[in-house]
Structure 1
Amino acid sequence: MSAEEQHRLQITLQPISERHLEELKALNGVIFPIKYQEKLYRECLLFQGLTQGAFYDNSLIGAVAVRLEQQQDGTARLYLITLGVLAPYRSCGIGSQLLQRTLEAAREDPNIVDAYLHVQTSNEEAIRFYQRAGFEIAETLLGYYRKNRLNPPDAYILRKRLAS
């Protein structure tokens, strides 16, 4: 895609709803090496203000799917389940827009203290993307992706504090 074509893209960001569910499954099936369970998709629909899609010409080309995890102290953590953009639309800022929109919405809830996600240790592009957004590597989980038969099977937990 040329720079001129990228500039002309009219992308709409909007919450993912039930009617987008099959598109979200198909999108994730293309982007990620892991097949996510139906339960995950049902969970992320509970957080429509946080789970967002990027649409071009009424087609889903990118999305961020999240869930909130309630903590014993009454706070909550935002878990980024997936964030992905179809290859032809990458490097257009769409992933950054999706992430920014979701983090801004999360900051409106004072109970959400941080955001975190898992990234395969070999996925340098994703690690750089999240570090540019203020995430830091908090932990390494050896064998995290073993059941998914990914190589390497290790993951980083990347975390970003949201509450002040």
Structure 2
Amino acid sequence: MIRSLMTNPKISHRPTICYRSIQPSDLEMLEQIHSDVFPIRYESEFFQNVVNGRDIVSWAAVDRSRPDGQSDELIGFVTARIVLAKDSEIADFFRYDSSKEDQTLVYILTLGVVAAYRNVGIATALINEVIKYASRIPACRAVYLHVISYNNPAIDLYKKMSFKCVRRLNGFYLIDAQHYDSYLFVYYVNGSRSPCSPLELVTVVVSCMKTGLKSVAAKLMKNEEKTVKWPKCKETRGLISTQNKRMIKTECSGCEYV
């Protein structure tokens, strides 16, 4: 996949971006970008698994028109892993069928772009590669990821790309002895969706209202059928019956924080 982009003020030429798999020759640059981009340090085993494709799929972005001769050097990347849906933390956020144990998800591990090439659509293109990959797996139900709570540019990007924020995880990250919250984002594929869509929520509310009205009407009719005899020449007082109200709490929204 090749895409030409408008010139970035940080770049002295018009880049032509190509996307390919990460290769063993990318190891040094992959480690360098991770070190520059992320506050979390990854073990060497992780990088070896990425460049050798051991249980990890990956895409690299390179600039084929670089004037310095480094036309195949990484300028961006995304890494991901296929996981079983039944073993994931998001089984409650899509229509998981327990009878189909082969259902899978794609979890995005890391995503990064070097500073000079940011804000030109490379991150979006890399995520789209993951989404297309997941969509081609019939048993895959969703793509999901975590993002640290203060990374507003990333949060805005995922929302713009129709990822759904379904949970806030307190103290998910531990960086330099300090805990940071994380947001969990999900992108549904292959017809999967949240188990509580807006239409279903309306249907549930209407159904509850109808059930409540029918219950009240039945009780009123039952009370009318009863005949109560009162003593003569006595002051009568109306009997007031109270019914406990039940509150139905729904937790389904486009962005739910818990």
Change over 3 Å in CA distance of 1:59–1:150 after alignment to 2:
farther
Alignment partner, residue 137 of structure 2 = 109
Q: Determine whether 1:10 maps to 2:16.
A: yes
What aligned pairs does 1:71-82 form with structure 2 within 5 A after superposition? 71-72=85-86, 73-82=101-110
Mapping of residues 139-150 of structure 1, within 5 Å: 139-146=167-174, 148-149=175-176
Q: d(CA) in 1 for partners of 2:112 and 2:74? A: 11
Q: Distance in 1 between matches of 2:128 and 2:188?
A: 14
Taking the aligned partners of 2:107 and 2:140, their CA distance within structure 1 comes to: 10
The residue type equivalent to 2:58 in the other structure is T
Cα offset, 1:152, TM superposition: 5.8
Which has the larger Rg? Answer: 2
Aligned residues: 161
Alpha-carbon shift at residue 92 of structure 1 (Å): 0.8
Which residue in 2 is equivalent to 1:83? 111
1:98-149 superposed Cα distances (whole Å, 9 cap, x missing partner): 1111211121111111111111111111000011111111111101112x23
CA contact (8 A) 1:120 1:152 kept: no
CA distance in 2 between partners of 1:5 and 1:103 (Å): 31
Residue 93 of structure 1 pairs with residue 100 of structure 2: no
The structure with higher relative contact order (CA 8 Å, sep 6+) is: 1
* C-alpha contact 1:121 1:152 (8 A) present in aligned 2: no
Cα separation, partners in 2 of 1:5 and 1:136, compared to 1, 3 Å: farther
Q: Could you tell me how far apart the structure 2 residues matched to 1:43 and 1:79 are?
A: 15
Which residue matches 1:30? 36
TM (normalized to structure 2)? 0.57
1:151 to partner: Cα distance: 5.7
**How far has the Cα of 1:163 moved from its partner?**
2.0
2:181 aligned with 1:154, yes or no?
yes
- Answer 1 or 2: which has greater strand percent: 1
Secondary structure at the counterpart of residue 144 of structure 1: strand
Equivalent position to 1:69, from 73, 76, 83:
83
Deviation at 1:24, TM superposition (A): 1.3
Separation (CA, whole Å) in 2 of partners of 1:12 and 1:25: 20
Q: Does the 8 A contact of 2:104 with 2:139 survive in 1?
A: yes
Q: CA deviation at 1:78?
A: 0.7
Gaps of 5+ in 1: none
CA shift at 1:3, angstroms?
A: 8.8
Q: Which runs of 4+ in 1 moved over 6 A?
A: none
Q: 1:91 to 1:3 in 2, by over 3 A?
A: same
Percent identity, aligned pairs only? 27
TM-score using structure 1 length = 0.88
How much does 1:16 deviate?
0.8
Equivalent in the alignment of 2:89: none
Unaligned runs of 5+ in 2: 1-7, 64-70, 87-100, 192-258
Structure 1 residue aligned with 2:26, among 11, 15, 20?
20
